Structure 1
Amino acid sequence: MALAGRPPRTLLLLRCLSVQLCQRRGACAGVMALDRCLALELPDCSLAYFTLCVDTSGNADSPEGTSWDPRLAAILGPPGRSYSLCVPVAPEVDCAARVGAAKLHQHLLRQLRRSPFQHCRLTRLLSYRPDGQPGGAQHGFLLRDPWDRPDTRRALDEVLRACQQAPHPHLGEFETDLHGQLWQRLWALQDGRRRQVGCARVTPAQEPALHPVLPDLPSSVVFPNREAAREVLEACTAFIPEAQAVLHLIDRCPKHVQKGKFPVIAIEGLDATGKTTVTRSVADSLNAVLLRSPPSCIGQWRKIFDDEPTIIRRAFYSLGNYIVASEIAKESLHSPVIIDRYWHSTAAYAIATEISGGLQYLPPAHHSIYQWPEDLLKPDFVLLLTVSPEERMKRIEGRGMEKSEEEAELEANNIFRQKVEVSYQRMENPRCRLIDASPSKEKVLQTVLNLIRNN
């Protein structure tokens, strides 16, 4: 209880903050980047955009063409308290730095899902450069504590203290001043103690024409060529011994391979769409060789790489496609080839994972991200098996199999499933031909065979 005639502690803190914010312009200007914007994923799968302005003049006017999103005040302001955690990445970074940032991001996610953060709401937060240049995306989180508990702040300090190696995450804390303006204070641990290293006013930002993470996808998850994916695993050999084994196998594969005279058909689809059954039946009917991606020579390490951050996991699957390509080149000299998943799967899941928000934020149709890599052997034909969500779930429950992380996400997150499906359908060069896999196995097989023979 406050003493008579003395304002409450919260009011004192806000007054002190207002004074500090007006005095720290020179100190903050060298710390806070003027060209950073942030995209926050909201519960309805929309994105809210804002920026951090170091102008402490008190001018609350929004940039031209923007308006304040009231949902931001509800999420960043009182009651309760919100914190931001972002993994800094310099604009000009090497592959090892990207891998290190991804590992730290994964570590933070696992820490923030544990006690004492279980009472908090965790959402995705992306810091990016508004100029749309690649190399500027910084992934992070917004942690919302609806009760503003002191143990949340102490636990965040412990999370920062445990991050001994660079890059060190940035911890932001949002405050509302006496005038109702929203601010972010930036903290860092120095000599084991939390110190304020920056402050900035939260202002609205214009929505970019395309999702802000899109320029970074070719260097992080949808690799345009074999060397880009190889570079990622090369950066992982120090802590993933199996990465060296994968690199040894990929280096034994010719860089330039050509398809033989027989047709090559890739069959894609989500789990439980009948893909495995159809590929086997089609291979038997056409007297074809059946291949799978990732191939069996690296399939034994799938679980290891599935537990790694997206950039590492996708590099593993991408290189698996190039190993399969060398097998296709050899087998298609003598017989038709059927492939159970290929590049389209690798790209569709990667895009759906990295693009936050709903379907409206996916790259538009005909974007270059949907184009087949120029150095990867192309199939002649790609079929995409589809079933209704209800039928797919019925089949999954009937199998009683352990779900992969991606399969669990498909089941729990309807938006994620739709993003995967739409990404599949936007793939080009070659595109996917849709096949309704709901009827009986015999009817689906006949439909597939007729389509292949007619093309």
Structure 2
Amino acid sequence: MARRAMSVFRQWPSRVFSVETEGEPVYFSIRNEHRGEEVPRVFREVPKSDRCYSLHVCCSDRVRRAKFYAELKENFQRELPPRWDVSPMSSFLPNVRDSLIHGYFVRDHSESPSRSESFLRSLSPDAVLVCSYVRGEDGGVWTQRLWSDSETAEKSKEYFVVPAEAPEYHPSALGIINSDVFYSFEEALEVLQKCGDIIPEAKSVMELLPRRADARSEPDFPVVVIEGLDATGKTTLTESLRDTLGATLLRSPPQGLSPFRARFDQEPPLIRRAFYALGNYMTAEQVGQESTKTPVIVDRFWHSTAAYAIAAAVGGPVSNLPAEGSEVYRWPSDLLQPSLVVLLTLDSEERKRRLRGRGQGKTLEEQALDQNQIFRLKVEEAYRRISGPPCIVVDASPSADQVLQQVQLVIRAKCHL
């Protein structure tokens, strides 16, 4: 068993388990003895003929872990074993950062348990911990069996399964820092370095990167970032500001990364987020150079990278986001800070109308914005909670000229331009 798996194995009785059902997590824990607790909700309506399993991806290398988890998901979507229902799940140590382990909860309706267990045993034992769940004769007690070895499941430890209280915040928050959102150049670079052998484009991207992050305390000229969801008018506004202020216009990710975006958009969040985080540092290097000569307008920056990542990582409603003031919203200490950040907001129906008129290809996350109002609300709220500097919200529903005038007033007041 791999080192990380062994560490997880030793801490197993202290972990809490979360199964996503209809977008909401259901929690349970395990004990050495049963004290009359009720059956956890995820097991209450399981027919007697069904069997339940859980898979926990825990190999030591986090790039391999992310790739393996994504490959499992793709395999389930492409070739779901007959009569299986699969739900995302995780396990974690309460309030312990980096303790989050992603996995899947499986309900098997098939008539051949041997085939299902054969499939589970075929999974890489140094990458996945497997559990089976057994119903007691009276149906009121369930036990969990952790397979310490995929070939000797019968020798594994058994625990009683009991309900667990929901944690103070969504468990995904335990794994956001430097996995979904990166807070230093070195942390993001380390991920891409580990991808060099499996993603050839990673080496090309690294050749474009600055040698190190250089967070200058204050640019010579003001740096104004324009943020907002697609179709809120960022492009029109940033180009108008460039012309009216005699400024340099930059975008994040920078043009140099455009040939690689489609490739990295296919990768698991860990790798994809590291790619876009490094794009911010490339843009910051350009900003540092240009802000010695002129004001700089930036079309999206770290706020976008972080807000989308946080919203995607946290399941369920807006209330599941980490609380305002959480360290997940802090600005990276080695990333140049803009003088001002303007967040354009727009009524969802008007935004959809504008999108229909554009007819451009969209990323998976942009498609999710169109289809999922909850995701959109989480992105907008994450924008508002990011500090250093915070966003100034501007209504983008008036005409382009009116929005330009309003933003110019904000820039004059905040940046003295």
Asked if these proteins are the same fold (TM beyond 0.5), I'd say yes
* Contact 1:117/1:152, CA 8 A, preserved across alignment: no
Who is 1:250 aligned against?
A: 209
* Contact 1:287/1:336, CA 8 A, preserved across alignment: yes
Runs (4 or more) in structure 1 with deviation over 6 Å come to: 193-196
1:303 is aligned to 2:298: no
After superposition, the Cα gap between the structure-2 partners of 1:411 and 1:437, relative to the gap in structure 1 and judged at 3 Å, is: same
* Contact 1:258/1:329, CA 8 A, preserved across alignment: no
Moved more, 442-451 or 301-310: 442-451
Among candidates 197, 221, 229, match of residue 262 of structure 1: 221
Who is 2:290 aligned against?
A: 331
Among candidates 70, 75, 79, match of residue 111 of structure 1: 75
After superposition, the Cα gap between the structure-2 partners of 1:155 and 1:300, relative to the gap in structure 1 and judged at 3 Å, is: farther
1:139 is aligned to 2:114: no
* Contact 1:128/1:213, CA 8 A, preserved across alignment: no
1:102 is aligned to 2:66: yes
1:85-138 superposed Cα distances (whole Å, 9 cap, x missing partner): 22025xxx5xxx1111111110011111123458654332111112x2223110
After superposition, the Cα gap between the structure-2 partners of 1:348 and 1:117, relative to the gap in structure 1 and judged at 3 Å, is: farther
Who is 1:154 aligned against?
A: 115
Aligned residue pairs total 405
Moved more, 309-318 or 395-404: 395-404
1:419 is aligned to 2:378: yes
The one-letter code sitting in structure 2 at the alignment partner of 1:39 is S
Who is 1:207 aligned against?
A: 166
1:132-163 superposed Cα distances (whole Å, 9 cap, x missing partner): 22231100122345xx12478736744652x4
Q: Distance in 2 between matches of 1:121 and 1:40?
A: 12
Who is 1:36 aligned against?
A: 15
User: Whose Rg is larger?
Assistant: 1
After superposition, the Cα gap between the structure-2 partners of 1:377 and 1:123, relative to the gap in structure 1 and judged at 3 Å, is: same
1:431 is aligned to 2:390: yes
Q: Distance in 2 between matches of 1:284 and 1:159?
A: 61
1:73 is aligned to 2:32: no
Who is 1:84 aligned against?
A: 54
> What's the CA shift for 1:184?
2.8
Who is 2:29 aligned against?
A: 51
The one-letter code sitting in structure 2 at the alignment partner of 1:123 is S
Who is 2:36 aligned against?
A: 61
> What's the CA shift for 1:76?
5.2
* Structure 2, unpaired ranges of 5+: 1-8
Moved more, 166-175 or 211-220: 166-175
1:183 is aligned to 2:143: yes
> What's the CA shift for 1:388?
1.6
Two-structure CA RMSD over aligned residues (Å): 2.6
Who is 1:122 aligned against?
A: 86
Who is 1:219 aligned against?
A: 178
Q: Distance in 1 between matches of 2:82 and 2:356?
A: 29
1:176-204 superposed Cα distances (whole Å, 9 cap, x missing partner): 2112212234457756x976744332111
After superposition, the Cα gap between the structure-2 partners of 1:453 and 1:117, relative to the gap in structure 1 and judged at 3 Å, is: farther
- Please state whether the residue corresponding to 1:266 is helix, strand or coil: strand
- Please state whether the residue corresponding to 2:176 is helix, strand or coil: helix
Q: Distance in 1 between matches of 2:317 and 2:342?
A: 25
After superposition, the Cα gap between the structure-2 partners of 1:195 and 1:398, relative to the gap in structure 1 and judged at 3 Å, is: farther
Equivalence map 1:435-454=2 (5 Å): 435-454=394-413
